[in-house]
Copies of this chain bind each other. A is one copy, B any other.
């Protein structure tokens, strides 16, 4: 048995999700836990990016990961190998997490000894964008094989994120991905977003991403 448990999360009972999200952020502030909500399409490399992120930061902060999935424990197994604290959340068919569900996950994970908590949201560019999870910052991954036109097609997701990781840049030569066009489309929707090209596989760009996270976590604990 590997070191994680599976939590079947329940539908939230709260009518006002935004209020619950603000309450959750206040609790996290008190506990000095920084929560990142990581979103993307299926298969863009969320879990591989998390592995690289944990490797870069695990000696500086205590990291806890919530792996949200409709089914399966594949990702929690992968993350458990890194030595980080991890819990698998099963959403029971739900396509996103809201603040109430995230709170259940955090309670299952236990945040008292966690400096940096990460929610790996359900792989989906649509629904997760519509619900504030209570996270301090929203991050998303767009992978090169998905194409640079995705900001045009899923504008809300690109609008609500604080940082965009453009992943799989190691395979750029094999795809028609225009990084300049991508920047242009994204910045038009969200001028303040930080864009970091990375390859979770080769490690390119992970330093810059880790630096961004260090700054955010330090800012939150001020």
Q: Given A95-B127, A126-B124, A130-B93, does the pair A145, B43 have CB atoms closer than 8 Å?
A: yes
Enumerate chain B residues within 8 angstroms of A171, measured Cβ to Cβ: 145, 171, 174-175
Beta-carbon contacts under 8 Å, A112-159 to B: 122-127, 130, 143, 145-147, 149-150, 152-156
Q: Is the CB of A123 within 8 A of B174?
A: no
Enumerate chain B residues within 8 angstroms of A69, measured Cβ to Cβ: 153
A43-B72 Cα distance, complex, nearest whole Å: 23
Enumerate chain B residues within 8 angstroms of A152, measured Cβ to Cβ: 71-72, 74
Q: Is the CB of A147 within 8 A of B43?
A: yes
A35-B143 Cα distance, complex, nearest whole Å: 31
Chain A to chain B contacts (Cβ below 8 Å), 12 pairs: A42-B150, A43-B146, A44-B146, A70-B153, A70-B154, A93-B156, A123-B126, A124-B125, A126-B127, A145-B168, A171-B174, A171-B175
A41-B174 Cα distance, complex, nearest whole Å: 20
Enumerate chain B residues within 8 angstroms of A125, measured Cβ to Cβ: 42, 123-124
